[in-house]
Amino acid sequence: MPTSGLRPRAGCEGLRLLLHRCPSGPHESAARGAWRRRAGPRRHTRRGAAGVEQAPALPTGSSVQHNDLRPDNIILDSRSGRAWICDWNYLATGPAWADWVALLPYAHHDGLDADALLRGSTLSVGVPDDAVDSWLALLAAYMVVSGGSPEVPTSPHLRAHGRFTARIVIDWLSERRKRAA
C-alpha cells in the first residue's frame, strides 16, 4: 500500500483502508494543493494543510467502521424505523466518531446544522475540534485524489462522487475553521 510519507499509528486500520486506493505520489502535497484551491484566505489554508499533517496520528480506536458511510449506503425501513447499512467494502476498526463525522458533510450540504448534530451526538461528545477537522481534512484530501483519478468504466459516477464529496467536506471544514479563527 503506497502511503508516500503518511504513517498511520498502529491500530489505525480505517486510515490505512482510506489511503490504500490513492495513487502513488505525494499525498500530503495533493491534500495541501486541494485545500489551497478551495479554502480561500491564507490563514485557513495553513490550518487545513496542518489538519492533513495531523490526521495520521488521530484516528485510532476499536469500534467497527464502515469507512464509506453516506446517504446512498443507508436503507431506511419505513415500517420498523430501522436503518440498514450496506456496502461494507472498507470494514475496519477505528474511533467511534469517524463514520459519524464523515456523514455530516452531507447533512451540512442539505442545509442541516452539522455542527449542532456533531455537538449533540453521544458518538462525538468530547472529541476535540482539531481531531474532527483533521479527519475532515484527510477525507477531503482522499476525495480530491480519488475524484481526480482516471474514470472507471465499470463505475461511471465514482469520480464525480469523489469530486462532489471533496467539495462538500471542504465547504463544511472551511466554515468550521473560519469560526475557529
CATH number of the CATH domain containing 161: 3.90.1200
> Is 2 within a domain?
no
> Is 4 within a domain?
no
> Is 8 within a domain?
no
- Give the whole-angstrom CA distance, residue 163 versus residue 145: 9
- Give the whole-angstrom CA distance, residue 145 versus residue 23: 8
Residue with the larger pLDDT of the pair 55 and 121: 121
> How many domains would you assign to the chain?
1
> Is 60 within a domain?
yes
Please give the DSSP secondary-structure letter assigned to residue 22. Answer: S
> Is 5 within a domain?
no
Residue-range definition of the domain harbouring residue 86: 13-180
Residue 181 pLDDT: 79
CB contact set of 120 (below 8 Å; sequence gap of 6+): none
Tens digits of residue pLDDT in 154-180: 999 999 999 999 999 999 999 999 988
- Give the whole-angstrom CA distance, residue 66 versus residue 73: 10
69 contacts 102 by C-beta, under 8 angstroms: yes
Which residues are bridge partners to 149 per DSSP? Answer: none
* DSSP H or E run through 35: helix 27-39
Of 8-17, 32-41, 129-138, which gets the smallest average pLDDT? 8-17
Residue 60 pLDDT: 79
> Is 143 within a domain?
yes
pLDDT at 47 over 70: no
Residue with the larger pLDDT of the pair 7 and 148: 148
> Is 127 within a domain?
yes
- The grid cell for 12 is 489505525
Residue 92 pLDDT: 87
pLDDT at 36 over 90: no
- The grid cell for 60 is 485510532
CB contact set of 81 (below 8 Å; sequence gap of 6+): none
Phi, psi of 46 (to 5 degrees): -60, -40
Residue with grid cell 477525507, as numbered in its chain: 139
31 contacts 141 by C-beta, under 8 angstroms: yes
Residue 154 pLDDT: 95
Tens digits of residue pLDDT in 119-129: 999 999 999 99
Residue 59 pLDDT: 66
Residue 180 pLDDT: 83
Express as a percent the part of the chain with pLDDT over 70: 67
> Is 23 within a domain?
yes
